[in-house]
């Protein structure tokens, strides 16, 4: 629990939310400023800023909830697809410093963009540079 965290306040019941799913470890509720009908946020109840801060069990519980909820959200609003993603860190657009997975329903012809659109200018990487990046991640 973090004192000034809006999502911890939702978990504690101090701020209202339209809850759609709850387990001992995970809570899901509608985004208050939705990008689409049915835009849902799935969070661990325990406060953590970054996805990499989650213990293995909690990461598993979070993803299990996302996997269960994504088709439910889609069918509830009769969507044709969904974007599922995390803004991890301020540079990635994270505004609320408590891990949350966005489930954003998508509709044919809705004028939105794929996740590919979130990156900046595409880097032009040589094979050697790609090898070095892969090695650094795999290390």
| Partner whose binding site includes residue 21, from ligand AMP, Zn ion, none (CB under 5 to 8 Å by kind) | none
From the number of C-beta atoms within 10 Å of its C-beta (0-12, 13-18, 19+), residue 35 rates as middle
Closest distance to ligand AMP from the beta carbon of 128 (Å): 34
CA–CA distance from 126 to each of 116, 135, 137 (Å)?
Answer: 20, 14, 17
Q: Which is nearer to ligand AMP, 16 or 132 (CB)?
A: 16
- Residue 41: CB minimum distance to ligand AMP, A: 6
Tokens of 52: 């990499």
- Which residue, chain included where needed, has tokens 């208050």? 32
- Choose which of 2, 21, 25, 31 interacts with ligand AMP (CB under 6 A): 31
* Candidates 71-79, 88-96, 104-112, 122-130; binding stretch for ligand AMP (CB under 6 A): 88-96
Is there a catalytic annotation at residue 100? yes
Q: What's the rounded Cα separation, in Å, for the pair 85 and 41?
A: 10
For ligand AMP, the binding residue among 2, 87, 107, 110 (CB under 6 A) is 87
Residue closer to Zn ion by CB (options 8, 103) is: 8
Contacts with ligand AMP, residue ranges (CB under 6 A): 6, 15, 17, 31-33, 41, 87, 93-96
As annotated, the active-site residues are 100
């Amino acid at each position: 629990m973090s004192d000034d965290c809006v999502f911890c306040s939702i978990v504690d019941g101090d701020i209202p939310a339209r809850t759609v799913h709850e387990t001992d470890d995970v809570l899901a509720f509608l985004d208050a400023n939705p990008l689409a009908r049915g835009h849902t946020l799935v969070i661990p109840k325990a406060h953590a800023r970054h996805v990499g801060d989650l213990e293995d069990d909690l990461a598993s519980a979070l993803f299990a909830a996302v996997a269960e909820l994504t088709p439910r959200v889609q069918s509830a609003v009769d969507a044709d697809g969904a974007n599922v993603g995390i803004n991890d860190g301020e540079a990635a657009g994270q505004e609320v410093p408590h891990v949350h997975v966005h489930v954003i329903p998508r509709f044919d012809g809705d004028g939105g963009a794929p996740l590919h659109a979130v990156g900046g200018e595409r880097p032009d990487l040589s094979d050697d540079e790609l090898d070095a990046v892969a090695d650094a991640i795999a290390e």
